[in-house]
Chains A and B, each alone.
Chain A
Amino acid sequence: DTGVSQNPRHKITKRGQNVTFRCDPISEHNRLYWYRQTLGQGPEFLTYFQNEAQLEKSRLLSDRFSAERPKGSFSTLEIQRTEQGDSAMYLCASSPWGEGSGGNTIYFGEGSWLTVV
């Protein structure tokens, strides 16, 4: 399967614990995005990378959230001191970049469900 891969698919954690999600984008896609989605809502943008550079962060991304893409390939999203309000599906997506390369076509992974109890 050459789609966007996310791990783990499901995570249940106690409030106050740290969690980390991993995303492996489609090979050669140099843009990588993180979104958050709660039940009955559309995805909300969190942040995106072009290669290893984090180019934009939403105000939704509090200082408890940190994302990295150290070698421009896979990415991790860490949530520190989790709160119940963090319970959501965390979606990773990737896209190619550049005019004529379908740069706007964003492909999503299956998501990582987080439940904070």
Chain B
Amino acid sequence: QQQVKQSPQSLIVQKGGIPIINCAYENTAFDYFPWYQQFPGKGPALLIAIRPDVSEKKEGRFTISFNKSAKQFSLHIMDSQPGDSATYFCAASIRSNYQLIWGAGTKLIIKP
């Protein structure tokens, strides 16, 4: 029940395309859902986050869509660029416990 399931494991998209990464969770107590971007050899960097009281959040080219009834959320990257090539992790946490539960990651490659 503590797991966050992330798919796909890897994704190759042409420049300008819209990669979509999906995550699903079971624990309805989760109330915070961040996405992190990680480049090789670097620590994860917070990209965007959403709470379950909204269905969509946009920051620049990054959009989170959230479906509370389905217990799913996804990351969309608009106008993708080769510089977006990285590993993306979704995560979830419970309000009273700030431990992040992580997805397994998606290795994204944007081809020029």
Contacts and interface: CB of A to CB of B under 8 A. Distances in A.
A42 B105 contact: yes
A56 B32 contact: no
Contacts of A106: 34, 46, 98, 100
A42 B98 contact: no
B42 A111 contact: yes
Interface string B33-61: 01010000111111001000000000000
Interface residues of A, number: 23
A95 interface: yes
Interface in A14-58: 31, 33, 40-45, 48, 56
A109 B46 CA distance: 11
A3 to B, nearest CB: 9
Q: Which of B32, B43, B103 has the most CB of A within 10 A?
A: B43
B46 A105 contact: yes
Nearest to A31: B98
Q: Which of B34, B89, B102 has the most CB of A within 10 A?
A: B102
Interface of A: 4, 31, 33, 40-45, 48, 56, 91, 93, 95, 103-111
Nearest to B90: A42
B14 to A, nearest CB: 24
A105 B42 contact: no
